[in-house]
A and B are shown apart, each in its own frame.
Chain A
Amino acid sequence: MIYVIDHNDSFTHNVVHQFSLFDKVECGNYNNLDIAKLEKSNVIVFSPGPGNPKDYPVTSKIYWKFKGKKKIIGICLGFQQILFCEGAKIIEQKNIYHGYQSNIQVINKKSIFKKGKKFKVGRYHSLKLKEPFKNKDFEITMRCLETKVAMSFENNKEKIYGYQFHPESFLTINGNFLIKKILST
C-alpha cells in the first residue's frame, strides 16, 4: 500500500490517481495523518504543496523515522522536503515556473533512467534546490535543459526518489512511466 501525505495542495489527488494505477493508495491530510496506515504502507509519498519545507516539520519527522525502512518518494514540495532533511538549502528562483512545460534530461549515468533521455514535464514551483548540493547517497539525475535547475534525485541504496516537476500533470508526457519506474526499483 502507498500512503500519500497531502500538504493541502490542489494537485494531490492527481498524484493519488496516478499512483493508484499501480497499487492501493491511502491519502491522509498533513494535519490529520493516520499513523497506523502510515506504518502499514510500503511506500510513502510526500505530495506537492504551498510554502517551504520548513512549514512541514511533521513530514520531516516521518522522513527520519522511515528513511531506509520504506521507499520514500517526493513530488515538488516533497522533493524539496527530502533534500531539506538531507541538509540542502531551498531558495527562491529568479524565474518562476507555474503551469509551465519544460524539457528536461537525464544527466547522470547512475540513474535508473537512460542517460541522455529527454522528457517533457509540467512544473509548478517557486523554490528550487540551492547548488552545489553534495551528499554521497543522493544523485541529481535530471535537469532542466534550459536553466539547468535540478529536476530529479535518486538514492538507489535507500530507495528514496524525488521529482521537482509534476509527473501527474497533464503537461507531463509519459508521467505514468516516470512513476512506474521508481515504484518498480
Chain B
Amino acid sequence: MSKQNQLTEIHHSGEPYIIYKSKEGFDLYTNFSKKIILNNKNINNFLNIKYKRKIKNTDLFIGFFGYELLNNLINIKIPKQKNTIFPKGIFYKPEKKIRMCHNLRYRNKNIFKTNSFKININKDTYTKIFNKFKKKIKSGETYQIKICTKYKTKSKIDPLDFFSRLSKTNLAPEAFMIRDYNYSIISCSPENLITKKGLNISTKPIAGTVKKTKNLSKSKALNFFKKNLKESKEHNMIVDMERNDLSRICKVGSVKISKSKIVEEYKDLFHYVSLISGKLKKNIKIIDIIKAMLPGGSVIGCPKINTLKLLNKQEKENRNIYTGSFGYIKFNGDMRFNIIIRSILNFKDISEISVASGVVVDSNAKHEFNENYIKAKALIDLFK
C-alpha cells in the first residue's frame, strides 16, 4: 500500500495520529500505546525522563504543552478565566512511524456548515488594552508585549483536509497536525523553539514578517527589515532574550548567534529570523531546558516574567494551546519543540484561532489590530 493510502486509511479508521513536518516531508506517528494527559502534578514526573542510549525511531513522546501549564511550571499563576476545559497538555507514545513526502493528496469534498467567526475583543477594546500596555512600556514595566485575540466558530471540520490544503499554500517548517477522538489541531507554525541533539541546543526566533509580492525579492525584503527601525528593535530584543534563556542552561561562552538577522522565504511571506545556539552545561535535565526556554519569548514579549503577569491579568479567556509548544522528546534526551502559533484547535466542534501582535513603544493600535486579522485570515479561509 502506498504511504498516501496508508495515511488515508488511518484517517478513515478514526484512530488518533500525528503529522509533523520533517526535513524532507512529513513524519506520521500513530499506534499510540500511551496517552499522557498532563497537569501541574504529573508534569514533573513526566519530564523526569531517564535517558536511554539505543533507541528505535518510535522511542519518543510526542505532543504539546499548553500555555497555562508552561506558566505554572515557572510559578506563574493564571487568574480565573473563561475556559473550555481543554487538557493543559497531552503527550503520546507512538509505536509506528511512517515517513511521507511533502505532497499530501487528500481532499474531503463534503461541505461542512460553518458559521462566521466571532472575535473575542473588538477594535475599541483592543485599542484600550493597547494604550494601557503602551503606558506600561513608558514606565518600564515591560519593553514589548503581545496582545492576543481569538476567533471562534462552531463547526465540524476534517483536519486532514485542512492540513493538506494548508501545506500546499504554506509549507511551514514546524507544521503539525494532531487528530484524536475528541479534538484536532492543525498548525502551520513557522517557528522552532528548541532543537536539541546531544549537548547542542538551538533556537530560531522569528521577529518580523512581510507579505510576499511580485516586486518584493528576498534581498529587498532584507532591506525592508534592516531599514524598518521598529522591526529591527523588536528583533534585537528577542535575540538578546533568547541568548539569555539559553545562557541559563548553557556553558559560559558557548551561546552564539549562528545566523544573525537573515530572511527566510516561504510561499506567501518573508520572515526575519536569527539562529542562536549553545552547548548545554553538564547535568542539565529535560525539565531545566523546558523551564528555561518555554513559553517562547518571541510570542510573549520582554522581559518574560513581568510581561506574562501583565498579559495574564488582562486576558479574560484561556489561551489553551496558543503560544504553548508542540514537539517531541526522544528517549535519548534529544528534542524538538516549536511555538504553537497559526493554529486551529477544534474541540467539541468549536474551532478557535488565536493570533497576537506586538506592542512596542512606536507601534500603532489600528495597524496591529489589522495585522492580527491578516494572520488569522489564512486559517479562516480554510473554512470556505
Q: Is there contact, CB below 8 Å, between B255 and A17?
A: yes
Q: Is there contact, CB below 8 Å, between A10 and B244?
A: yes
Chain B residues closer than 8 Å to A166, beta-carbon distance? 240
Q: Is there contact, CB below 8 Å, between A99 and B248?
A: no
Chain B residues closer than 8 Å to A96, beta-carbon distance? 137-138, 361
Say whether, besides A16-B247, A17-B253, A52-B139, A99 and B237 are in contact (CB < 8 Å): yes
Chain A residues closer than 8 Å to B152, beta-carbon distance? none
Q: Is there contact, CB below 8 Å, between A98 and B237?
A: yes
Chain A interface residue count, CB cutoff 8 Å, equals 31
Chain B interface residue count, CB cutoff 8 Å, equals 36
Closest to B252 in A: A20
Closest to B246 in A: A13
- Is A127 in contact with chain B by the CB < 8 A criterion? yes
- Is A122 in contact with chain B by the CB < 8 A criterion? yes
Q: Is there contact, CB below 8 Å, between B234 and A21?
A: no
In angstroms, Cα B302 to Cα A14, docked, is 14
Q: Is there contact, CB below 8 Å, between B140 and A100?
A: no
- Is A138 in contact with chain B by the CB < 8 A criterion? no
Contact with B along A45-66 (1 / 0, CB 8 A): 0000111100000000000000
- Is A71 in contact with chain B by the CB < 8 A criterion? no
Q: Which among B235, B243, B245, B303 has the highest number of chain A CB atoms within 10 Å?
A: B303
Chain A residues closer than 8 Å to B245, beta-carbon distance? 10, 13
Contact with A along B138-163 (1 / 0, CB 8 A): 11111110000000000000000000
Nearest CB of chain A from residue B71's CB, rounded to whole Å: 14
In angstroms, Cα B235 to Cα A125, docked, is 16
Chain A residues closer than 8 Å to B247, beta-carbon distance? 13-14, 16-17
Total A-B pairs, Cβ < 8 A = 101
The residue that B244 contacts in the complex, of A14, A49, A98, with Cβ under 8 A, is: A14
Closest to B233 in A: A99
Closest to B305 in A: A8
In angstroms, Cα B376 to Cα A34, docked, is 47
Chain A residues closer than 8 Å to B235, beta-carbon distance? 99
Q: Is there contact, CB below 8 Å, between A8 and B306?
A: yes
Q: Is there contact, CB below 8 Å, between A170 and B240?
A: yes
Q: Is there contact, CB below 8 Å, between A98 and B306?
A: no
Q: Is there contact, CB below 8 Å, between A21 and B253?
A: yes
- Is B232 in contact with chain A by the CB < 8 A criterion? yes
- Is A156 in contact with chain B by the CB < 8 A criterion? no
Contact with A along B210-245 (1 / 0, CB 8 A): 000000000000000000000011111101110111
Chain A residues closer than 8 Å to B237, beta-carbon distance? 98-99, 124
Say whether, besides A51-B141, A98-B144, A170 and B243 are in contact (CB < 8 Å): yes
The residue that B303 contacts in the complex, of A49, A92, A100, A171, with Cβ under 8 A, is: A49
- Is A9 in contact with chain B by the CB < 8 A criterion? yes
Binding site for A on B (CB under 8 A): 137-144, 232-237, 239-241, 243-245, 247-248, 252-253, 255, 257, 260, 297, 302-307, 360-361
What are the 9 A-B residue pairs with the smallest beta carbon separation, nearest first? A126-B140, A99-B236, A99-B233, A10-B303, A13-B247, A99-B237, A20-B252, A50-B306, A96-B361
Given A50-B306, A98-B143, A100-B233, 7 other A-B contacts at CB below 8 A?
A8-B305, A8-B306, A11-B244, A17-B252, A50-B140, A99-B232, A126-B143
27 sampled A-B residue pairs with Cβ under 8 A: A8-B303, A10-B302, A10-B303, A10-B305, A13-B244, A16-B247, A17-B247, A17-B255, A49-B303, A50-B140, A50-B141, A51-B140, A52-B140, A92-B139, A92-B140, A98-B143, A99-B144, A99-B233, A99-B236, A101-B236, A122-B236, A124-B143, A126-B137, A126-B138, A170-B243, A171-B236, A171-B240
